[in-house]
Amino acid sequence: MLNPQDMQAHLEERLPQYLDFLKSMVEINSFTGNPAGVNELAKLTAESFNSLGFQAQYIQAKNPQYGKHLVMTKPGKSSLRIGLISHLDTVFPPDEEIKNDFRWLEEGDRLYGPGTNDIKGGTAIIYMVMDALKTFAPEVFNEITWVVLINAAEERLSDDFGELCIEHLTKDAVAALVFEAGVRGDNFFQLVTARKGRATYKVTTKGKGAHAGSNHQEGANAIVQMAHTIQQIAALTDYEKHLTFNVGNVKGGSVVNRVPHLAKATVEMRTFDLEIFEFGVKSILALQDEKKVSNANGNYECKVSIELKEQSAPWPSNPGTENLFHVWEEAAKSLGTSVFREERGGLSDGNAIWHTIPTIDGLGPYGAHSHCSERNPEEGKNQEFANRSSFVPKALLNTLAILKLIEKNQLNDR
């Protein structure tokens, strides 16, 4: 019978080796816009997982400006398969890392560096889980087909990766496990069971240019119209419905002695609920008819255009995710701890696959300050880090939960 204490001791003994793997990943700049670095990291990752019997495929992202997605498969004897999901890219360009001296640094329990928390630490935990299964449950390890899917452009919401996951997992997949960073308390873990969806919009107002001194009355000010429109957009935010609209930037006009003829803005919308998401899209697009500004004699009215640029649907609470949560809940109880649900505002690859494959998220390590590279204590700034002490407990929890998940599915097949 598997002894969790033996597994924990094994993981703790090998932690320095796992963290060496993490360090080697962190030392490669894998900014989304640095495809050479992303591909270098993919190669390193594939070589590391090869020791566990995984075979690698490199698949160019749909956008040629990005690197290659990495798919690693270890074929099993049965038809059952499980997907384990991470991403290669970070948000830090090479010059930013240099400027802020942002690099691998061990300081007490904190492991600083680009991607330690988001999400190279998650990739390291996938490796730890696979190593633990191979060591302590070799029959299970060889029975299941394991598919590790690692996105080259998650930070840019590469839609084609979700399609890639579905292609590799739809047939006989019992779960898609996403290893974004999670939360660990004194005696509990938080797992992500829902995420907000996101839509982005381009807002354009067109006015009529005129000399600001001689013919001001002939002009129709596009910036004034934009000010009216963005106030209407901001008013669509409804915190009770968890529906938010954020006007991210505004540009307009050219010189101060000219009535501006053009203004532009970008907006993002987020919410958890599918119906509210559709309501939000409909509501903002309806503002194109709300024109307020014209020239003095009323023969020219400003025009408003709102274009839906991108959308990623919400990942709401759903039965498939709930079933997985209860499996992790059982595993946590066997370890004398507990798990809680977290509904997270940010997106992950889980948004693209939950509706097809049961999905759960937040299986990575615990840390803080993701996407932050500056360190200035006087201004309250600190760099991204992961807690060393979170790796073994999270890997142990995930390993036991996966074993329980497989056991349940094998019983259902009988």
Q: pLDDT (tens digit, 9 = 90+) per residue, 282-298? A: 999 999 988 899 999 88
What's the per-residue H, E or C state across 181-240? CCEECCCEEEEEEEECEEEEEEEEEECECEECCCCHHHCECHHHHHHHHHHHHHCCCEHH
Kindly report, residue by residue over 385-405, the tens digit of the pLDDT: 999 999 999 999 999 999 999
Residue 409's pLDDT is what?
84
The architecture that CATH gives domain 4-195+314-413 is 3-Layer(aba) Sandwich (3.40)
In Å, the largest CA–CA distance within the chain is 90
CA distances from 103 to 44, 92, 121, 153 (A): 18, 11, 14, 21
Q: Which residue has the higher pLDDT, 156 or 285?
A: 285
Kindly report, residue by residue over 249-308, the tens digit of the pLDDT: 999 999 999 999 999 999 999 999 999 999 999 999 999 988 899 999 889 999 999 999
The closest of 199, 148, 143 to 42, measured between CA atoms, is 148
Q: Is the pLDDT of residue 411 over 80?
A: no
pLDDT (mean) for 126-146:
97
Chosen CATH of 198-312 out of 1.10.10.10, 3.90.330.10, 3.30.70.360, 2.20.25.90: 3.30.70.360
> DSSP letter string over 5-28?
HHHHHHHHHHHHHHHHHHHHHHTS
Can you give the C-alpha Rg of the chain in angstroms? 25
Q: Is the pLDDT of residue 148 over 60?
A: yes
Residue 152's pLDDT is what?
98
Helix then strand then coil, % of the chain, to nearest 5: 40, 30, 30
Q: Indicate the angle between helix axes 391-413 and 120-136, nearest 10 degrees.
A: 60
Q: Same topology for domains 4-195+314-413 and 198-312, yes or no?
A: no
pLDDT (mean) for 102-122:
97
pLDDT (mean) for 180-197:
91
Percent of the chain with pLDDT over 90: 92
Comparing 171-175, 209-213, 217-221, 321-325, which segment has the lowest mean pLDDT? Answer: 171-175
pLDDT confidence bin for 413, thresholds 50/70/90: low
> Would you kindly state where each structural domain of the chain is located, as residue ranges?
4-195+314-413, 198-312
Residue 410's pLDDT is what?
73
Can you say how many angstroms the Cα of residue 323 is from the centroid of all Cα atoms in its chain? 22
Residue 414's pLDDT is what?
47
Tokens 């974004």, residue? 180
Q: How, if at all, do strands 385-387 and 145-151 pair?
A: unpaired
pLDDT confidence bin for 238, thresholds 50/70/90: very high
